[in-house]
Amino acid sequence: MNITKRHFIRKDELDELKQSLGEMYGETFIEEVFPKKSRVEIIITEEDDNLYAINGKLALWNSKEGYIPVLPFLLDNRIGLKSIIVDMGAVPYVTLNQADIMRPGITEIDSSIEKGDIVRIADEKNNRTLAVGKAMYGAKEMEQKEKGKVVKNLHTINDDMWEFAERF
């Protein structure tokens, strides 16, 4: 990923960004992500991805799936994303192969998850964030399933976005 343009956004642009994020994640998310007097920079890449740095730290990626917290930011800031917990057997598939989350590997599902929510994927042993995904079903439907894909993996440790964020 190469940067083509970057600049600090105006207050009206920041208000618009916060409104979009508030609709997607709720007001608590906004309060956790944007400290008072935040300086927010937009970074546009050759791939036409819009990334947002908050106070000099890469924090959000505006992908085709919506606004996604970048994993290094998410690891440093325990922002309140809904969570899916996977067993340790699923960890290498999620992290090394960037595999989607399959029902048999899930040990815990946040009961408030709705279809389309951006969720945090964590391991059962350490509760360490491994990936960010998009729920393909609501929590009740996931609970009822015995097999099959239930969360689309959008961003994981060691993917291209992770590497870019680490270099930023």
Amino acid in position 79: I
Q: How confident is the model at residue 127 (pLDDT cuts 50, 70, 90)?
A: very high
Please tell me the predicted confidence (pLDDT) of residue 92: 95
pLDDT of 78 > 80? The answer is no
Q: In CATH, what number is assigned to the domain containing residue 124?
A: 2.30.130.10
Average the pLDDT over 38-61 and give the result.
Answer: 91
Total domain count, the chain: 2
For residue 27, being part of any structural domain is answered with yes
Q: Average pLDDT for residues 25-35, to the nearest whole number?
A: 90
44, 77, 110 - which closes a domain: 77
For residue 53, the cross-strand partners are: 41, 58
**Where residue 167 falls among pLDDT bands split at 50, 70, 90?**
confident
Residue ending a domain, among 27, 51, 77, is: 77
Structural domain includes residue 142: yes
Do 102 and 70 belong to one domain? no
H or E element at residue 22:
helix 11-25
Residue 92 shares a structural domain with residue 60: no
Same domain, 98 and 53: no
Structural domain for 109, as ranges? 82-160
Q: Do residue 34 and residue 104 come from a single domain? A: no
Tell me: do 63 and 23 sit in the same domain: yes
Does residue 43 sit within a domain?
yes
**pTM for this entry:** 0.90
Query: To the nearest whole number, what is the mean pLDDT of the chain?
Result: 92
Q: Is residue 168 part of a domain?
A: no
Strands, sheet with 106-109, edge to edge from the N-terminal-most edge strand: 101-102, 149-156, 129-135, 118-123, 82-86, 106-109
Per-residue tokens: 71: 């994993």
Tell me if 154 is assigned to some domain.
yes
Residue at which a domain ends, from 46, 77, 108: 77
